[in-house]
Structure 1
Amino acid sequence: MKQPELVFVPGPGIGHIVSNAEFAKQLLDRDPRLAITILVIRTPITPEVDAYVKSLVSSPGNRIRYIILPLEDPPSLELLVECPENYVTLLIDGHKQCVKETIVKHVVSFSGLVVDFFCTGLIDVANELNVPSYLFFPSTAAFLGLMLYLPTHYEKLGKSFDILDTEISDYDIPTYAHHVPASVLPTVVLDKEIGFECMMKHGSRFREVKGLIINTFVELESYAVDTLASDKKNPKVYTVGPLLDLKKARGVEHERIMSFLDTQPDSSVVFLCFGSMGGFEPTQLVEIAVALERSGQRFLWSIRQERAKEKMGVINGFSNLDEILPQGFLERTKGRGMICGWAPQVDVLAHQAVGGFVSHCGWNSILESLWHGVPIATWPIYAEQQINAFEMVKDLGLAVELKLGYRSGCGVLVSADEIEKALRSLMDKGNPLRKKVMEMNEKSRKAVVNGGSSYDSMGSFIEDILSKNVH
């Protein structure tokens, strides 16, 4: 029997590549009978992806083959401003022929295509080459349920979601235990012109694959996973998370941050970090600074500028904080607070001094925080972060609500009073939330070891792949 080879095609953002690469690595660690190639689709606006992939290729013990595809005539950047999700979809669809030719040329025993959720157009390639396709979903099981629900919603109501709808204020989406208010739905599905149709097309194709592979674990999202698995219209569900890249960072800034944390008492520091594309205007930074000072909390604060929509890459920090923040703030908080630009998030969350995390609620960040037992206060900014925050607060009871429906560029100023209240709740050692988070911390680690739910589910996926290759 030839060595069966899977081909992965992640979405073009680093967050997507991270979880795809970690899943591929764990598959190869579990079973040497498999081979895996990851095809990397680039964009004109994510130059950092090339460097990240090169670091993966050169990492010790790497057994994954990475092929960076040539950039095929990308869509106009005007489409990116109009709807980033549609831009990425068109970009990937434009690579269909290139993906097919690359597989035919480089993959000897092609046994399955694993596509990210923006890559459903590539299911056609798997069909043409007569191999099964699988969806790798790097976000929550509940959000996957929302994607599957989009065609049903349109069939029922004949329209997209509407945040201004006076007749319907919330929606009964099967994978959420509570009705979901329109205010926390992802911005893209509230876009009646392009976004909703784009995502509905993806959702409608999810059921064409042979399996749904989700970066979650049953103990965390039992309601959503059970709902997906019990629907006979859905493909087989594999829960394989948490998939985390826990490699330690390096560099001068890393050493400076770790040295600061080393001087702080255990569980005393609140970490504020909003992802590689999350930032705020100066007026909002002032409110955060006032809240931090009034709360008396020790803090590590990663500050980035608010990103321009047409620049979807990593954003930069401010160079003139003295002019932006309240006069004397940096001096008054010296010793108990530190401000940085980039922050080594995994290493910070792993540090014993960190006791709380004000987060944008990207799914990778949520999984990292639970893995390290650090409770979150929710401050979503973009993508599906609002509905992630909703699930964490309302369905799972695992986060402090700071904001749920906040969106980048929405023009809303979150007051220092709101922020201070959330900080005090988050860092309150008597908050019962802390016990729940620590319990989930233990469950997350048990899920991925021998006998755990995700370990067994990954084993089931491997056996399904190998059984299709018995000759």
Structure 2
Amino acid sequence: MANTVAVELVFIPAPGVGHIMSTVEIAKLLVNRDQRLSITVLVIKPPPSSGSGSAITTYIESLANKTLDRVSFIELPQDETPPSRDPKAPMTSFDEFINSHCKYVRIAVADMMSSGRVAGFVIDMFCTSMIDVANEFNVPTYVFFTSNAAFFGFQLYILSLCDDEKRDVVELSNSDAMIPVSSFVKPVPTSVFPLMIKIREGLDFVMRLVRKLRKAKAIMVNTFLELETYAIKSLSSDSRLPFVYPVGPLLNLEGGAGKPLEDDVKRWLDGQPPSSVVFLCFGSMGSFEEVQVKEIAYALERSGHSFVWSLRRPPLEETTIGNPSDYEDPRVVLPEGFMERTAGIGKVIGWAPQVALLAHRAVGGFVSHCGWNSTLESIWFGVPMAAWPMYAEQQMNAFEMVVELGLAVEIKMDYKKDVFNPKADMEIVTADEIEGGIRRLMADDTIRTRAKEMSEKSRAAVVEGGSSYASVGCLIQDFVRNIS
């Protein structure tokens, strides 16, 4: 392809490890596909009080040690006095925090414009205030939607209920109803609606974002046509929407920042039969209090299945929201004698190199929080899931995987953890429920077969001739036209 036009793009991910990782993956994909493209990622560091800054810093530093041709990073400064975080209105505070970076984006882009032409902004779905900044420079904005097409359609449906039908969505969300949503084949129970839209402040935040999304030139979604055929077609038929590009699965198969799989765990896995081990991991913010940890332990022991369990310690009580850490000795929260009784059949670890574990031939089931990155990784490796969602849109991801697509079994699909209020009373999922889910997961050959078939489709989507490969090609042509 002739290098006749240089196309510079500005990427602005949200300040979360999962968001930045998938943003870097789409950036790498684009520059590898077309030599004309170069990308500058403007990194918004999370507020110091969030407890998640170190994970992002570690990840960005790990990228600095690799050669990323034509992908560069600028860490944006923060206000000396960032917007105060109101525990009673956490999403409004987050919105204000993102907005406080507009002036720094404006300065960075002005510098870039002085030496060349920017063809467009590619912003995270949580950074829609940056559309106004892009408009100031008269460049188009593309949104990178890091979750799935069905959930995007759900957000649009909720916006329509609010704006077009004047419905009280908070009241509806807290009812016991089954709601027909255009991006889902089957009616969706309100019990799996995100906690965020069940309160007025959270709903207002989501609606602000979605109204802005409609002003973008196009929307890239981390999914693929063969996985979400129905949802993608429903989005494509909405004349009020920008064009939607399915560009996934976008995965960091190198495992990201963090420790590799420990030698003793790898040796143990190497000695297990194929698809015999259940892997439990609940994401970068996933942790449980001691009473729930014990229920999981009882379930694992009674199930009789071999396991690898990523057990994390909850953030300190003084921290409103933050990342879990590893236990120095997990025995402090496990049932007495559990480690000794399960020494031959299981491994309790801290932080988990999830990709390495899902890729291992011995792993045959994944007890997951159903974060979208984790779900795509599970699909990529053909590992069926047991759904135990916790926060954000994970309950809806679980509904899609269990009810719509039959790629997972349920442990507790409507479980919710309020990450903004860790002191809130939490529902306890019993050992019986967990054990039942694990047994179904490891015994269901139909789901296992579906998972393997979808794995093949996910890999076919991203290679030449695949649906996402073609979609990315069309997207690149759109970028180039902005300069031509």
Superposition TM-score tier, normalisation by shorter sequence: over 0.9
- 1:68 is matched with which residue? 75
Equivalent-residue separation in structure 2 for 1:241 and 1:117 (angstroms): 16
Q: Which amino acid aligns with 2:78?
A: L
Please say if 1:171 is aligned against 2:179. Answer: yes
Equivalent-residue separation in structure 2 for 1:345 and 1:252 (angstroms): 10
- 2:453 is matched with which residue? 439
Equivalent-residue separation in structure 2 for 1:346 and 1:88 (angstroms): 30
Please say if 1:53 is aligned against 2:67. Answer: no
Match of 2:441 among 422, 426, 430: 426
Deviation at 1:60, TM superposition (A): 3.0
- 2:100 is matched with which residue? 94
- 1:146-197 Cα offsets, whole Å, 9 max, x none, are 222232111324423337755x6232221111222221111111112x1100
Q: 1:169 to 1:309 in 2, by over 3 A?
A: farther
Please say if 1:338 is aligned against 2:351. Answer: no
- 1:240-294 Cα offsets, whole Å, 9 max, x none, are 0000001157747633332221121111110000011111111111111111111
Q: Does the CA contact (< 8 Å) of 2:179 and 2:190 recur in 1?
A: yes
1:36-185 equivalence runs, <5 A:
36-43=39-46, 44=48, 45=50, 46-48=52-54, 49-72=56-79, 73-77=81-85, 79=86, 81-107=87-113, 108-155=116-163, 156-162=165-171, 165-166=174-175, 169-185=177-193
Q: Does the CA contact (< 8 Å) of 1:28 and 1:63 recur in 2?
A: yes
Equivalent-residue separation in structure 1 for 2:58 and 2:224 (angstroms): 30
- 1:453 is matched with which residue? 467
Match of 1:15 among 18, 37, 40: 18
1:172-321 equivalence runs, <5 A:
172-192=180-200, 194-248=201-255, 251=259, 254-307=262-315, 310-321=319-330
Q: Does the CA contact (< 8 Å) of 2:183 and 2:235 recur in 1?
A: yes
Q: Does the CA contact (< 8 Å) of 2:37 and 2:70 recur in 1?
A: no
Deviation at 1:384, TM superposition (A): 1.0
Q: 1:150 to 1:251 in 2, by over 3 A?
A: closer
Q: 1:251 to 1:127 in 2, by over 3 A?
A: closer
Q: Tell me, what secondary structure is at the counterpart of 2:300? A: helix
Q: Which amino acid aligns with 1:421?
A: G
Q: Which amino acid aligns with 2:437?
A: A
Q: Does the CA contact (< 8 Å) of 1:117 and 1:136 recur in 2?
A: yes
Please say if 1:406 is aligned against 2:421. Answer: no
Q: Tell me, what secondary structure is at the counterpart of 1:217? A: coil
- 2:385 is matched with which residue? 376
Q: How many residue pairs were aligned?
A: 465
- 1:4 is matched with which residue? 7
Q: Which amino acid aligns with 2:310?
A: S
Q: 1:369 to 1:234 in 2, by over 3 A?
A: same
TM-score after normalising by structure 1: 0.95
- 1:468 is matched with which residue? 482
Deviation at 1:410, TM superposition (A): 5.0
Equivalent-residue separation in structure 1 for 2:259 and 2:125 (angstroms): 34
Equivalent-residue separation in structure 2 for 1:431 and 1:133 (angstroms): 44
Unaligned runs of 5+ in 2: 418-423
Equivalent-residue separation in structure 2 for 1:309 and 1:380 (angstroms): 24
Equivalent-residue separation in structure 1 for 2:348 and 2:280 (angstroms): 10
Unaligned runs of 5+ in 1: none
Q: 1:113 to 1:431 in 2, by over 3 A?
A: same
- 1:209-234 Cα offsets, whole Å, 9 max, x none, are 11010000000011110000111111
- 1:110-145 Cα offsets, whole Å, 9 max, x none, are 110111111111100111110110110000101111
Of 303-312 and 314-323, deviating more is 303-312
Q: Does the CA contact (< 8 Å) of 2:14 and 2:20 recur in 1?
A: yes
Q: Tell me, what secondary structure is at the counterpart of 1:468? A: helix
